[in-house]
């Protein structure tokens, strides 16, 4: 029975990070779709104004903080470490995005946007983890 505990913790760690990733991605993509359908964003494949990219950066940041909070909450131990792992994964994805879209400004927009997403990846996940740790430390022990 004791042999199952480390495996259960690893499994729960993976679930925690995936849950945060899925929440952040689903909310971001869902909001994108709503804004495209409502005409706030131009049709797919058309460039967006800097102001709209700033709006997208803002809600993606909020959603990433929420995703990291969820990751920290589900984590079996070391919630901040789990939140930062989520941030590191986000950073890797953002760096891949920068590299693959660098020479396609017309289709994907200015360079500042993917760079901003990469720069924010770790701090926003740190914030989500920090909010959880502050809330959990403020709760009285049961």
Tens of pLDDT, residue by residue over 41-85, are 999 888 899 999 999 999 999 999 999 999 999 999 999 999 999
At residue 5, does pLDDT exceed 90?
A: no
Question: Whole-model pTM above 0.95?
Answer: no
Cα torsion angle, 70, 74, 78, 82, sign: negative
The answer on pLDDT for 103 being more than 70 is yes
Mean pLDDT across the chain: 92
Residue identified by tokens 């909070």 is 69
* CA 113 – CA 123 distance, rounded (Å): 16
* Model confidence band, residue 1 (pLDDT cutoffs 50, 70, 90): very low
Give residue 141's pLDDT: 59
Give 124 or 107, the one with higher predicted confidence.
124
Distance (Å, rounded) from C-alpha 95 to C-alpha 44?
A: 22
């Amino acid at each position: 029975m004791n042999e199952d505990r480390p495996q259960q913790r690893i499994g729960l760690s993976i679930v925690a990070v995936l849950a945060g990733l899925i929440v952040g991605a689903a909310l971001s993509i869902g909001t994108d779709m709503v804004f495209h359908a409502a005409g706030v964003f131009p049709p797919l494949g058309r460039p967006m104004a800097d102001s709209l990219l700033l709006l997208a950066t803002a809600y993606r940041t909020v959603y990433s903080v929420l995703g990291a909070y969820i990751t920290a909450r589900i984590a079996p131990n070391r919630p901040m470490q789990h939140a930062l792992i989520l941030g590191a994964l986000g950073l890797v994805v953002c760096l891949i995005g920068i590299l693959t879209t660098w020479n396609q400004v017309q289709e994907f927009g200015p360079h500042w946007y993917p760079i901003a997403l990469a720069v924010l990846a770790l701090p926003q996940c740190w914030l989500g983890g920090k909010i959880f740790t502050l809330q959990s430390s403020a709760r009285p022990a049961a």
